[in-house]
Chains A and B, each alone.
Chain A
Amino acid sequence: MVAELTKNERQGALVILLALAVTGLAMAAGGRGDPFGIHGAMVLVAAIVGIFAVIGGYYAPEPSPERLDSYYDSPTKFGIVAAMVWAVAGMAVGDWVAWLLAYPEWTFDAAWASFGRLRPVHTSGVIFGFGGNALIATSFYVMQRTSRARLPDQLTPWFVLFGYNLFCVIAATGYLMGVTQSKEYAEPEWYADIWLVIVWVTYFVLYLRTLNRRKEPHIYVSNWYYLAFILVVAMLHIVNNLAVPISWGSAKSYSLFSGVQDAMTEWWYGHNAVAFFLTSGFLGMMYYYMPKRAGRPIYSYRMSIISFWGITFFYMWAGSHHLHYTALPQWVQSLGMTFSVMLLVPSWVSAGNALMTLNGAWHKVRDDAVLRFMMVAAVFYGLSTFEGSFMAIRPVNSLSHYTDWTVGHVHAGALGWVAMITFGAIYASVPWLWKRNGMYSAKLVEAHFWLSLAGTIIYVFAMWNSGIIQGLMWRTYNESGTLAYSFVDSLVAMHPYYIARAIGGAFFLLGAIIGLYNIWMTIRTASQDQAAQNVADRPVTEPAIGAPALQPGE
């Protein structure tokens, strides 16, 4: 990897790593016994490992100028493997906390193993670790292809990927130590947040620099979605995390907002994280990989543009539906509800556009599990956006809010849509990236597909049942006008569904483990026979592929 960097880039990497090491040392010294100090030590160790890696490859020959004739895919490869590792880790913790809900005594009396600390490890692990790495990796792939431009340099993409994963590790280890700012999906404390801003702005600038070098006059629609994801996540992250640390040596900080303003800011962030992290970015992925895999262009390019602007401008206002029947003013709730209902239009335009793209390629969907992953993702995207609009309606929300229905809805989106489209995109791109004829085992891809689908359906049905029962029990009155059931009564009623949910999650996790194994074996095994094939191919393909117009000396 270091060998791919130019001399200047190796020096740049050393400067960055030295600065990081100094920061880590200062944090460790200032924080002492505080988790802040432990995180400082981790940053220091990470930087030192990086410094040794760069020094180890420092005198390797510089990369040849011929590298500029190909796309720079090493960061994408790293990101895909990292995404799959995070998927397995994050889903394993997810299934663990699912069992904890069914059997709460399984916490070993240890603080780190309590539900409250493990749950954000799961959510951050799958959303940021799995989803984020997959988005960064595929965005590098897609932006280069659709722009016909190589990444502008070799160092920045690595800074983005390593920096982002450092953030994810700091976040997850912090939760286990009890570090949290108690904002859902924005739990990491101020220092991790500042680091993410640096990484994220670098990512944004890298994207713009690549687009700026593009050879295609029109910017392909996937890039719009990816860019919206990067830009809006930066906005959301900065505003929601405005906070004042209690000292420079402490992990603890206080938010700039309080009371209902805090709640509104948090859910403006939270719902737009769903919109721009879990929707926009993955739609960008879908609009590239699905047509490519199906061998058919997007059914309606125009509609992909119209739904882009619809999604971008409607989602911004939808967050307040998380705060129905709270201290938030009624009209703000109504605003969020109205925009959530309107969102159904651009969402279904996207889902319909995806399914119509497959029209005429259904035989491929039948035969190819990779395309089937993407098809099922589009169906679940349609289902969960309908469900989301429906649940945002205030009277419906009075039944669904605070129940497992919400959890079921989130997972219909996260497992059925986000994870499925990601697995589809990863399975499509692994053979392209590592120049293989196909995955190591098509059967294992099939197995992964059916485990994922079965797991999602078990999970979602368990939570629908449990959520509606919960909601109904909480609003059932007896003849004397008091509640018929206590909270514990409803909890007991949930028990079988919690077990079912944990089993569904285990199916999904098993699928991800198989996927990781399959990807790993694809990377490892096919290299020999591919090498043999390349030798045989060379005399024929080289003149054919090399641009015929180029003459010696040109």
Chain B
Amino acid sequence: MTITHDLLVWFSKSFGLFYLIGLSLIVVVYAYWPANQKPFNAAAQAILHDDDDKPYRG
């Protein structure tokens, strides 16, 4: 099969379009998902408070 210009344009206007829209939606939904806010804020704060600069040992 030869990859023609028309084929690539068709591919990018169909699959490429929805793949990027879908990806954007997934990312925004993930970033704004209410249940995710707690771990996000905790992570943002956590790097500021490593007073005991030690690894965890289980």
Residues of A within 8 A of B (CB): 68-71, 144-146, 148-150, 215-218, 220-221, 288, 291-292, 295-298, 301-303, 305-306, 309-310, 313, 329, 331, 335, 432, 545, 547
Contact = CB atoms under 8 A, between A and B. Distances in A.
B32 interface: yes
4 cross-chain pairs, A with B, having the tightest CB-CB distances, nearest first: A215-B56, A297-B44, A150-B55, A218-B39
Given A220-B46, A295-B48, A329-B5, A69 B57 contact: yes
Given A70-B54, A144-B55, A331 B27 contact: no
Given A69-B57, A305-B30, A146 B52 contact: no
Contact of B27 (A146, A291, A292, A305): A305
A217 B47 contact: no
B1 interface: no
B55 A301 contact: no
A305 B44 contact: no
A549 to B, nearest CB: 12
Given A298-B44, A305-B31, A313 B23 contact: yes
Contacts of B55: 68-71, 144, 148-150, 215
B42 interface: yes
B2 interface: no
A432 B50 CA distance: 12
Interface string B14-58: 000000100110011011100000011111111110111111111
B9 interface: yes
B48 A301 contact: no
B40 A302 contact: yes
Q: Is the interface of B mostly helix, strand, loop or mixed?
A: helix
A323 B7 CA distance: 22
11 contacts: A68-B57, A71-B54, A148-B55, A150-B55, A215-B55, A218-B42, A292-B48, A305-B27, A310-B27, A335-B12, A432-B53
Contacts of A298: 44
A111 to B, nearest CB: 43
B27 A301 contact: no
Given A218-B43, A221-B43, A306-B27, 14 more contacts: A68-B55, A69-B54, A71-B55, A148-B54, A150-B55, A215-B58, A291-B47, A292-B47, A297-B48, A306-B31, A309-B23, A310-B27, A313-B20, A547-B52
Nearest to A313: B23
Contact of B40 (A218, A291, A331): A218
B2 to A, nearest CB: 14
Nearest to A435: B53
A149 B56 contact: yes
A297 B45 contact: yes
B13 to A, nearest CB: 11
Contact of A288 (B8, B42, B47, B57): B47
A550 to B, nearest CB: 10
Nearest to B23: A313
B43 A220 contact: yes
A331 B28 contact: no
A150 B55 CA distance: 6
B52 A545 contact: yes
